[in-house]
Amino acid sequence: MQYFKNIIFIFIFLNSFQALSKNNFNIHPIEVSKNIYVFMGDNNDVNPKNGGAISNTAFIIGTKSILVIDAGPSYLYGSKVIEIIKSYSSLPIRYLVVTHHHPDHSFGLSRFIENGTKIIMAQSEINRYVKYGNRLLKQLKNLIGEDWFIDTKIVAFENENIKFPINVNLGGREIIIELYDQGHSEGDLIVKDLLSKTIFVGDLVFNERAPTIPHANINNWNKYISTIMDSNWDYLVPGHGKLIKEKEELLLTKYWINYIDKIAKKAAKNGMSPAEIFNKGIPEPLLKYKLAKETWIRDLPLLINKYEFE
């Protein structure tokens, strides 16, 4: 009988644990270099399991203050990140750099504003965030459930007309924030930590998974990737996927965006429908990318649409 009681106890324990962790982000920072940590996003599409936490969030600790890169998908995520950072350091979180406006990078920012953190974001991206935020939020709630987005709000906030590039000092370490406009989005920010030679490039670089192109200018994006390849870094933190140490890995992002762009232009020129192209399957060289099919099917019609009635 005692044996059964134990089993029951274990079941009850496991069940209550599941209830608690239902909408909790199970994230742990990985140390990239001394005092630089990254929360790796689930390298997947937004789904009810990952709660939208699909991109990477990072933080850099100086001797006086802390800088965070990207706010994650929701208020809950922002709270969790702040809670974890506080367990690492009691210094104030002074800056949040939001690399661009896509929900998986920006929707947690209202939590940081509450925290007294200064938000650094390109003006074009703030405009998009404010303009489309509520509709996107509603879409995301429909997609994976309201619970993941409790307290998530789209807030208009002041941006003191920042001129990029800007330098911030976290105490003992110099950070440069640069603007790469009209590339992957209208205004992507790149963060460089000079001390550790670490560069945070947002969604200008995707590792392993297929890059998404809905707001992209492919020509500029291409140039920017070359610029990033030529600049001096030891570690590169992409917006999605694992840490990069070899410059050659950036070619994967280049290859995809050029390939899909070429196909779309050709299709538009010949008057083809996306249905006809999809019917042929995904091109062989693109199959090695994660989420290749999803991205191919989502983005190709958009690009064809962009070119076909130009």
Partner 1 sequence: MFKVFLFIMLILYSKFAYSGPFSDFKAGAGLSEELSSSPTERRNKPNSESIVQSRDALDSQNSEMWNDLQNELLGKNAKVFFVADVKIIMQDYIEEAHKVPLIVAIPKRLHNFNKLILLIENNPIQQVISLKPYRSIEAIGMNVRLEDDSPIRVAILDKDGNWNIGSKMVFVASAGGCSTPACDPAIEVCEPGIVGKIAVKEYEREAGAQRIKLKITHPMETGFVVDTDGEIIPEYFIKNIHVDDIDGPIADITTFAALSSDPVLLLDLSEKGQSVRVHVMDSHGLEFFSYKKDISM
Chain contacts with partner 1 (rule: CB under 8 A): 4, 7-8, 11-12, 14-15, 18, 46, 48-49, 102-103, 128, 132, 134-136, 138-140, 142-148, 212, 214-215, 270-271, 273-276, 278-279, 294, 297-298, 301-302, 305, 308-309
CB closer to partner 1, 170 vs 291? 291
Distance CA 189, CA 249 (A): 20
CB closer to partner 1, 29 vs 108? 108
CB closer to partner 1, 90 vs 279? 279
Task: Give least dist CB 54 to partner 1, A.
Answer: 11
Taking CA 232 as the corner, what is the angle to CA 229 and CA 237, rounded to the nearest 5 degrees?
Answer: 65
Task: Give least dist CB 302 to partner 1, A.
Answer: 6
Taking alpha carbons only, the member of 22, 40, 41 closest to residue 31 is 40
Task: Give least dist CB 296 to partner 1, A.
Answer: 10
Residue whose entry in the numeric block shows the structure tokens 């990477």:
56
Task: Give least dist CB 157 to partner 1, A.
Answer: 20
CB closer to partner 1, 64 vs 138? 138
b/e per residue 204-230 (b: at least 16 CB within 10 A):
bbbbebbbbbebbbbeebbebbeebbe
CB closer to partner 1, 3 vs 83? 3
Rg (the chain; Cα; Å): 21
Distance CA 99, CA 187 (A): 8
